[in-house]
Amino acid sequence: MIYFVATPIGNLKDITLRALEVLRGASVVFCEDTRHSLKLLNAYGIKKPLMSCHKFNEKEAAEKIIAAAQKGDVAIISDAGMPAVSDPGNGVCRALKEAGEQYTVIPGANAALSALVLSAFDSSRFAFAGFLPDKGAARKRALEELKTYACTLIFHVAPQDMDKTVKELFAAFGERRACAVREITKIHEEAAPFLLSEGLKGEKRGEYVLIVEGCGEVKNPLAELSAREHVSRLMAEGLDKKTAVKRAAKERGEDRQSVYMETLDL
């Protein structure tokens, strides 16, 4: 049998008894980074052959996995969490399906769901967006689609991309509450709430799960003002009229020209 095994996202004790049983019984373990996975296996005294399965070799790895499964059980893990979810493995899943190979999942720690709980945002309905596309056009299309979602949004963000991502979210979504969660299950676990307009303060370290409220949850007090009052308030905060009109129109979801026509006397 081929097993996709969830591994700890921080604390090494967050691994299931069944996951350890599968890893001990596997003839080979395919992993994202052999050096990283070796630490986990060593912590539990598990000695197994390790083979690479990362985003650059999934096709070749899938062929090796299928061949290895003819000789014994195979375990597939990523550096943390569930393989194939914002981690290598999805290509392997497709290849196994196409080849008619049976596989199963050993569930476990999940960064997105843990962060959602830590944020205290609405968890009745949510959408997992993972990492935004790298390319500008695809990234813009993704943001345009996501801004209409009424449910809570969950993103994965690398520390070096956090400031840029928050600015892009504010430009696309307007003002919303957000929460940046990092170091989940570790000593320095943190869930920092902030407004998109303000950005996340402080040094950015470690991988983040960014939780952003959906458009259905937004309660912007400025939207309760008239267009003229809205623009006037933004100008009082230091924005020039053109910028204030543009921002007010975005925050109100109204046409920029109609907002401008209501502010001719300002």
CATH code that applies to domain 112-217? 3.30.950.10
Half-sphere exposure of 67 (CA within 13 A, CB side): 7
Instruction: Provide the token pair at 100.
Output: 């008619």
Instruction: Provide the token pair at 46.
Output: 């598990």
DSSP, collapsed to helix, strand or coil, labels residue 77 as: strand
Q: What class is the 2-109 domain?
A: alpha beta
- What is the CA 107 to chain-centroid distance, rounded? 18
Task: Report pLDDT for 6.
Answer: 96
CB atoms within 10 A of CB 78: 25
Please state the domain extents for the chain.
2-109, 112-217, 221-261
Task: Report pLDDT for 87.
Answer: 87
What is d(CA 44, CA 50) in angstroms, rounded to the nearest whole number?
15
In tens digits, the chain (266 residues) has pLDDT values of 999 999 999 999 999 999 999 999 999 999 999 999 999 999 999 999 999 999 888 889 999 999 999 999 999 999 999 999 888 889 999 999 999 999 999 999 999 999 999 999 999 999 999 999 998 899 999 999 999 899 999 999 999 999 999 999 999 999 999 999 999 999 999 999 999 999 999 999 989 999 999 987 555 555 567 888 888 888 888 889 899 899 888 887 788 888 888 888 88
Task: Report pLDDT for 254.
Answer: 84
